[in-house]
Structure 1
Amino acid sequence: MMKKFLALLLSVCLLAALCAGCGSTQTTAEDPATDETTAAGTEDPVTIRLGGLKGPTSMGMVKLLSDNDAGTTTNHYAFTMAGSADELTPKMLQGELDILAVPVNLGSVLYNNSEGSVQLLAVNTLGVIYIVEKGGQTVTDWESLRGQTIYATGKGSTPEYALNYLLEENGLDPATDVTIEWKSEPSEIVAQMAAEDHVIAMLPQPFVTVAQDKFSDLQISIDLTEEWDSLDNGSQLNTAGLIVRTEFAQEHPEAVATFLKEYAASTEYVNANVAEAAQLVGQYDIVEASVAEKAIPYCNIVCITGEEMKTSVEGYFQVLFDQNPASVGGTLPGDDFYYIAQE
């Protein structure tokens, strides 16, 4: 059992880079979840221990957090934030968190390595990856990348798999038709841009926004989310999702249903009120407010649930599995991985 748990933690560390920035863990409350119900069977309000990462993964929940602090949510949310998923996933597996926002494929890894102890509640972020160009306007489509050098981050994880898949679907061999130079973090690409007049790169938000603030001649050339959608293959480019402990979902179905409603309302607010939401993003130390205001429109913040979520994610996982089975935990998750509320 210890060997299996250590293997799981290693998988978490390798696959959790996409949506995480730098930062330390913060906890705004410590109340444990309760399981009290009324005599009539209606569940009393409970405390939901909610976790999130710095970056787009958590931007959609800021109105929910604000309402929680104001005491206007149905349930209470004890929020913990961290800079990387490997700081929070052990807490999830040990029963110290109830719902967690993570890279969506990491949810499958946890499911496969914990005998189904987590389920996917919702997709909360679609693709946040873009091909950008500094110092030129040569990149107009995929074919225009032939023979070019692309600086990128995320080797061995979903950004690499998504880029390879889209290159192949558009007639390019990632191994021979382009040169991909992998960097360990986006800041290295920004440094490359400062050193060279012309740079083509693959960057996630909000680092695209950060780079645009530094280089006035930096432009977005290809939106990987739009390109994935244009393939019309029934799936979507999914960056992050919300996972729930299976035991918690079974014990508190009403609390989970209420959470999903409040979370959906929060994402709608963020997308409709960018300036105000950006201030909340800064307030909760997810991303600086000035960066968030520019980045939110490009972060594809959503709340996709139920059968629509399942269809979107199954196709996406198949793409990842075909390139590297370990990216989803060695095998495609079963139907019970997808939380489908019973009417």
Structure 2
Amino acid sequence: MKGYLRKIIALSCVLSLVAIGGCTKQASTKPVTVAALSGPTGIGMIKLMSDQDNISKNYDISLYQSPDEIVGKVVSGEVDIACVPSNMGAVLYNKTDGRVKLLGVNTLGVLYIVENGDSIKSVEDLKGKTILSSGKDSTPEFVLNQVLRANDIDPIEDITVEFMGNHADIASKLVAEEGSIALLPQPFVTTVLAKNENIKVALDINQMWQATEQVDLPMGIIIGSKSFVEEQPKQLKAFLKSYEESVEFVTNNLEEAAKLAVAYAIIPDAEIAKKAIPACNIVYRNGVDSKDMLSKFYEILAEANPKSIGGKLPDENFYTIPN
């Protein structure tokens, strides 16, 4: 009998150790993997990145230069959360058969018509002009065309758009050539303003979009993998709270935010960063508050070119996060 009891006690100890080991393994979750672009979406995250490097180790955050670098990582499931251009969220939703979820909007309109001169006083003055732009068959072109049409300007007949490889090439040409006009996003706008005193912001495309569409212009969003959203709700909630706090820090502490933007190689100069950050329209709007503006945005893109959102509008599941 005593031998039997000893076996029972020994077995109980083993089971206890296994249970403790199992609980320990479950509690030691790996860091949340996050991908963002080295631009406004990255700027909104810099306080979170700084805390991650110096205080906690809850997140593994990487910045990328191109959305294409992030696409493969989302499709393959390498990242839990990604900050991407708004249209790319729809593309990825369709490309992965619904394996991504909208978590919120993090960047509103950042597009401006900038001129090396003083000939553009209103949108009507764009008629007959040549506008430098990047991103043919992408969001900047579709947004510009929508705004022009809303103001009775035919983007094909009334203006000429000269497409260039990237924003940096456009900025260089704008600085060098008097009379040139360009469609540029922040922080490139602030950079060219600092380099040439004759350059000015002629038109705010974001305000024009709001006036005609009656909603904000959503340029960047946060998405999460469906598996992460459904299986790690506590980590998701913690991340979104930290992200929102990071955005609040960036918008309310320009001096420190500018230094961090330089430290993480997003903007090369702190003085330019201080001027650019307020114009980058960095926000945090949760998925519920984002739905109306995104739905309108996707409908406009779908009409312009269905391929820009992956062939079809995202359905309700894109916007719905389980409780």
TM-score band by shorter chain is: 0.7 to 0.9
Q: Would the aligned equivalents of 1:125 and 1:239 in 2 still touch at CA under 8 Å?
A: yes
Correspondence 1:59 to 2:54: no
Distance in 2 of aligned mates of 1:311 and 1:176: 32
Letter in 2 for 1:126: L
Aligned CA distance change for structure 1 residues 194 and 276 (closer, same or farther; 3 Å):
closer
Correspondence 1:189 to 2:187: no
Aligned CA distance change for structure 1 residues 173 and 329 (closer, same or farther; 3 Å):
same
Residue 316 (structure 1) aligned to one of 292, 297, 300: 297
Aligned residue for 1:122?
104
Letter in 2 for 1:189: I
Aligned residue for 1:264?
244
Aligned residue for 2:155?
174
Aligned residue for 1:211?
192
Correspondence 1:156 to 2:137: yes
Distance in 2 of aligned mates of 1:339 and 1:283: 36
Q: Would the aligned equivalents of 2:113 and 2:184 in 1 still touch at CA under 8 Å?
A: yes
Q: Would the aligned equivalents of 1:91 and 1:97 in 2 still touch at CA under 8 Å?
A: yes
SS at match of 1:64: helix
**CA drift at 1:174:** 0.4
Letter in 1 for 2:69: E
Report matched runs for 1:1-343 at 5 Å.
Answer: 47-72=31-56, 76-136=58-118, 138-233=119-214, 235-290=215-270, 291-340=272-321, 342=323
Letter in 1 for 2:100: V
Distance in 2 of aligned mates of 1:38 and 1:261: 26
Aligned CA distance change for structure 1 residues 145 and 251 (closer, same or farther; 3 Å):
same
Q: Would the aligned equivalents of 1:123 and 1:241 in 2 still touch at CA under 8 Å?
A: yes
Distance in 2 of aligned mates of 1:195 and 1:257: 48
Q: Would the aligned equivalents of 1:317 and 1:332 in 2 still touch at CA under 8 Å?
A: yes
**CA drift at 1:153:** 1.4
Aligned CA distance change for structure 1 residues 339 and 272 (closer, same or farther; 3 Å):
farther
Higher gyration radius (CA): 2
TM-score (normalizing by structure 2)? 0.87
Q: Would the aligned equivalents of 2:102 and 2:287 in 1 still touch at CA under 8 Å?
A: no
Aligned CA distance change for structure 1 residues 212 and 245 (closer, same or farther; 3 Å):
same
Please say which of residues 321-330 and 182-191 is displaced more in the overlay: 182-191
Letter in 2 for 1:62: I
Q: Would the aligned equivalents of 1:121 and 1:339 in 2 still touch at CA under 8 Å?
A: no
SS at match of 1:303: strand
Distance in 2 of aligned mates of 1:314 and 1:112: 15
TM-score (normalizing by structure 1)? 0.83
Distance in 1 of aligned mates of 2:219 and 2:50: 24
Encode CA deviations 1:196-251: one digit per residue, 9 max, x unaligned: 32111111111112211221111111111111111243x32111111100001000
Distance in 1 of aligned mates of 2:107 and 2:132: 23
Distance in 2 of aligned mates of 1:59 and 1:37: 39
Letter in 2 for 1:88: I
**CA drift at 1:256:** 0.7
Distance in 2 of aligned mates of 1:89 and 1:165: 26
Distance in 2 of aligned mates of 1:272 and 1:258: 21
**CA drift at 1:286:** 2.1
Structure that is richer in helix per residue: 2
SS at match of 2:219: strand
Aligned CA distance change for structure 1 residues 45 and 277 (closer, same or farther; 3 Å):
farther
Aligned residue for 2:7?
none
Letter in 2 for 1:277: A
For structure 2, list consecutive stretches of 5 or more residues without a partner in the other structure. Answer: 1-20
Q: Would the aligned equivalents of 2:48 and 2:246 in 1 still touch at CA under 8 Å?
A: yes
Distance in 1 of aligned mates of 2:121 and 2:73: 44
Please say which of residues 307-316 and 156-165 is displaced more in the overlay: 307-316
For structure 1, list consecutive stretches of 5 or more residues without a partner in the other structure. Answer: 1-35
Q: Would the aligned equivalents of 2:104 and 2:286 in 1 still touch at CA under 8 Å?
A: yes
SS at match of 1:180: strand
Encode CA deviations 1:95-143: one digit per residue, 9 max, x unaligned: 211101111111110110111111111111111110011122x212211
**CA drift at 1:187:** 2.9
